[in-house]
Amino acid sequence: AQTVTQSQPEMSVQEAETVTLSCTYDTSESNYYLFWYKQPPSRQMILVIRQEAYKQQNATENRFSVNFQKAAKSFSLKISDSQLGDTAMYFCAFMKPEYGNKLVFGAGTILRVKS
Amino acid sequence: GAVVSQHPSRVICKSGTSVKIECRSLDFQATTMFWYRQFPKQSLMLMATSNEGSKATYEQGVEKDKFLINHASLTLSTLTVTSAHPEDSSFYICSATIGGVNEQYFGPGTRLTVT
């Protein structure tokens, strides 16, 4: 079974600085998808970024980028120029389409951006 | 696009009563819908997967007679918590997928409080 591990329960960063959230996963599959979701205090799940495992190029969405190391099974999220609105719980998730598009979530990392 | 709604957003019910939560895909037909439960500061726990017109598939440890799921159409799934007890108090989130798109779209969640 696939597992996703987020080893940082809580992190904080100063506004405008850069922070990296770590995520590792365990799978024997070669074709899969990885996601980072943000859950702000409203508790609405928001997709931050997605990576297809067959793509070597790291995904980027504005201030958010990932460092995808397939061999190491690592998928970290870098947030540049942190903003107060980035304060949220961040979840790393794994999906194998052949398994019915189920998501396997990590435990989450609470990120606090300080002014 | 790909908007998922949930109703109600908050509900309070008395112990022993049943409560129904609706999940709708507003601008697409959902091939599959998922129901999650989330406790404060914890990750999402998958309860069940439902496909239109067929019985839901429940995760291990989830009581199917307690949490009734009906997926009557391609845009609507309902979760009924039967004979609710205070320990059923939680945040319930649904999500939906579109065929051929490897991503889940999340509803805003429903906070259930059983008194």
pLDDT in tens, B54-82: 889 999 999 999 999 999 899 999 999 99
Quick one: pLDDT band at residue B94, thresholds 50, 70, 90?
A: very high
Query: What integer pLDDT is reported at residue A49 of this predicted model?
Result: 97
Q: For an interface test with A, which of B105, B106, B110, B112 has the most A Cβ atoms less than 10 Å from its Cβ?
A: B106
Closest CB from B41, B43, B91 relative to A106: B43
The bridge status of strand B110-114 relative to strand B10-13 is parallel
- Please state, rounded to an integer, the average pLDDT across all residues of chain A: 96
Query: Measured between alpha carbons, how far is residue A110 from residues A41, A52, A97, B72 in Å?
Result: 11, 25, 28, 37
Task: Name the one residue in this structure whose structure tokens are 């435990």.
Answer: A107
The pLDDT > 90 percentage for chain B reads 87
- All residues of chain A having their beta carbon less than 8 Å from the beta carbon of residue B2 are none
B105-106 and A24-26 beta bridge pairing: unpaired
- The reported pLDDT for the residue numbered A1 is 77
Position B99 confidence tier, pLDDT thresholds 50, 70, 90 = confident
Option in B38, B91, B102 nearest A97 (CB):
B102
Q: How high is the pLDDT of residue B69?
A: 95
CA–CA dist A3, B30 (Å, integer): 26
Is the preceding omega at residue B8 within 30 degrees of 0, hence cis? yes
Q: Do B108 and A44 touch (CB under 8 A)?
A: yes
Q: What is the pLDDT of residue A48?
A: 97
**Of all helices (H) and strands (E), which one includes residue A102?**
none
Subunit contact B32:A100, Cβ cutoff 8 A = yes
Pairing verdict, β B67-73 and A10-14? unpaired
Range with lowest mean pLDDT among A4-18, A92-106, B13-27: A92-106
Q: Tokens at residue A68, please?
A: 């995808």
Cα distance between residue B70 and residue B77, in whole Å: 6
Cα(A47)–Cα(A38) distance, rounded to whole angstroms?
6
Q: Which residues pair with A19 in a beta bridge?
A: A79
Phi and psi based region of residue A35 (left: phi greater than 0; alpha: psi -120 to 50; beta: remaining) = beta
Mean pLDDT across A87-91: 98
Quick one: which of A103, A115, A107 has its CA closest to A10?
A107
Q: How many CB atoms lie within 10 A of CB A4?
A: 23
Which band of pLDDT confidence, cut at 50, 70 and 90, is reported for residue B91?
very high
Chain A contact for B52, CB < 8 A?
Answer: no
pLDDT at B41 over 80: yes
Query: How many Å apart are CA B92 and CA B21, to the nearest integer?
Result: 9
Confidence of residue B111 (pLDDT cuts 50, 70, 90): very high
Give the rounded distance of the alpha carbon of B101 from its chain centre.
Answer: 20
